[in-house]
Amino acid sequence: MTEPKLSILAQTLIGSEIVKLGGIIKDKISKGEHIYNYTIGDFDSSEFPIPKLLLTEIKKAYDDGYTTYPLADGETDLRKAVSGFIKLKQLLNVDISEILIAAGGRPLIYAAYRAIVDKGDKVIYPVPSWNNNHYTHFTEGEHIKIEATQENNFMPTAAQIKPHIKGAALIALCSPLNPTGTVFKKQDLQDICDLIIEENAQRGENEKKLYLLYDQIYWTLTFGDTEHFNPVSLRPKMKEYTVFIDGISKAFAATGVRVGWSFGPKHLIAKMKAINSHVGAWAPMAEQKAVAKFLIQEEVVNDYFIVFKKEIDFRLKKLHEGFVALKNEGFSVDGIFPQAAIYLTVKIDLVGKSFKGIKFTNQSKVTEYILGEAKLAMVPFSSFGANAESYWYRISVGCVKKEEISDVIEKLRNALKNVE
């Protein structure tokens, strides 16, 4: 039976590849299989609880009756707290009129796309990257995909962007990057900023400017010598053209609390506020009040980061060590040393090989095999817009238990041994 027609958008929109993979994993678990599910960019709250003070303040806010609509751009006390947090941690001066609060980062990204991109406008974004293909589809923009490479830790370069910059409306970047957990080098980000500034200087007064959407939701989670850079600190002129995406989701293992913020040019934030008002994607009043009180507790925030980051760093490095050991044993695997976020980039290259006489004809078959034999679920980079035959994967450590890492590597080792 043919389904009734809906909008072209609805009929052409591709569902989340990660959600689809999640369905396969849930089916296996329901049948009694023990799966190491390292696919979702979330946290096991038993391993990574939100800060105790934040939890206390949320409960108190509900008890105090904060259950009504918040202000459309976010409660004033929260925007003041966010402004102070940005000033303290990133040395950026942001007025509260340049800040918009929403229910996490997604509605803010959506609002930014809607406020900037018209039908047919060029949107430049790297692959792999999270959801830029879908947001560009929402706005009917022209997809300009920059295929990032291992040689540059999967971060796009100015040289790759430059040929496409004329007439573009938006460049969408993320650092630390989901799915790779890698970051921009200072010079590479400076070069991209210089491209944007130069391009905008050449555009007429009544011509739409080229904006940069800079998703830095993972910026607090850097490890070792890794340093996070932002466009405005590197090139102050970029304040006119940069809209930031940020929030508590990843910084405080609070993905379900749904408090995100965007900051950028006042006129752009105002339009994003209007769009968000019609969508109604406000962060709940109680959570806003709680985050406002929590963010200003500098010592509490810093203490949380110390423990939280240590636990994430351990999992990333332990898994990476396992992949390095497998590589040194001669198996066709590899990994990029973890830099930031909650993600580890790994490679499993088995296409052309076989198991029990059945040949792996494509990367999808490899993914199925690793899930079936090693019980390890990872997200292929193809789910983030990369080539379908990319042999790179994202491992998310937010739900990894430390004591199971050795078992995971051993099961993977045995699965690799059985491949011919």
One DSSP character per residue, 57-101 reads HHHHHHHTT--SPPPTT--HHHHHHHHHHHHHHH-----GGGEEE
Residue 391, both tokens: 């042999």
Tell me, yes or no, whether 390 lies in a domain.
yes
Tell me, yes or no, whether 355 lies in a domain.
yes
Nearest partner of 170 among 131, 144, 202, judged by Cα: 144
Q: Are residues 197 and 122 in the same domain?
A: yes
Integer Cα distance of 47 and 273 in angstroms: 35
> Which residues neighbour 166 within 8 Å (Cβ) at sequence distance 6 or greater?
199
Structural domain that includes position 99: 52-296
Average pLDDT per 10 consecutive residues for the chain, totaling 420 residues: 83 77 80 88 95 98 98 98 97 97 97 97 96 94 95 95 97 97 97 98 94 98 97 98 98 97 98 96 97 98 97 97 97 95 96 88 91 93 90 96 96 93
Q: Are residues 324 and 241 in the same domain?
A: no
| Residue 3 pLDDT | 78
Residue 400, both tokens: 């990894």
Tell me, yes or no, whether 370 lies in a domain.
yes
| Residue 18 pLDDT | 73
Tell me, yes or no, whether 161 lies in a domain.
yes
Q: Are residues 181 and 323 in the same domain?
A: no
| Residue 356 pLDDT | 86
Q: Are residues 32 and 82 in the same domain?
A: no
- Hey, what's the torsion of the CAs at 273, 275, 278, 283, to 10 degrees? -50
> Which residues neighbour 358 within 8 Å (Cβ) at sequence distance 6 or greater?
none
Tell me, yes or no, whether 239 lies in a domain.
yes
> Which residues neighbour 341 within 8 Å (Cβ) at sequence distance 6 or greater?
176, 177, 178, 181, 218, 221, 250
Q: End of a domain among 296, 325, 352?
A: 296
Tell me, yes or no, whether 1 lies in a domain.
no
Q: Are residues 216 and 239 in the same domain?
A: yes
| Residue 13 pLDDT | 84
Q: What is the CATH number of the domain that holds 223?
A: 3.40.640.10
Q: Are residues 214 and 359 in the same domain?
A: no
Q: How many beta carbons lie within 10 A of that of residue 203, not counting itself?
A: 13
Q: End of a domain among 296, 317, 346?
A: 296
Integer Cα distance of 42 and 219 in angstroms: 16
Q: What letter represents residue 43's amino acid?
A: F
H helix or E strand, kind and range, residue 200: helix 186-202
Q: End of a domain among 279, 296, 313?
A: 296
Establish whether the linkage from the previous residue to 128 is cis, with ω within 30° of 0.
Answer: yes
| Residue 25 pLDDT | 83
| Residue 272 pLDDT | 97
Integer Cα distance of 57 and 71 in angstroms: 19
Q: Are residues 25 and 81 in the same domain?
A: no
Q: Are residues 87 and 157 in the same domain?
A: yes
Tell me, yes or no, whether 2 lies in a domain.
no
Q: Are residues 339 and 277 in the same domain?
A: no
Q: Are residues 315 and 351 in the same domain?
A: yes
**Structural domains of the chain, count:** 2
Q: Are residues 271 and 363 in the same domain?
A: no
Q: What is the CATH number of the domain that holds 14?
A: 3.90.1150.10
Q: Are residues 237 and 113 in the same domain?
A: yes
315-352 CB burial, b ≥16 within 10 A, e <16: bbbbbbebbeebeeeebbbbbbbbbbbbbbbbbbebbe
Residue 207, both tokens: 């011509």
Tell me, yes or no, whether 3 lies in a domain.
no
Provide the whole-model pTM.
Answer: 0.95
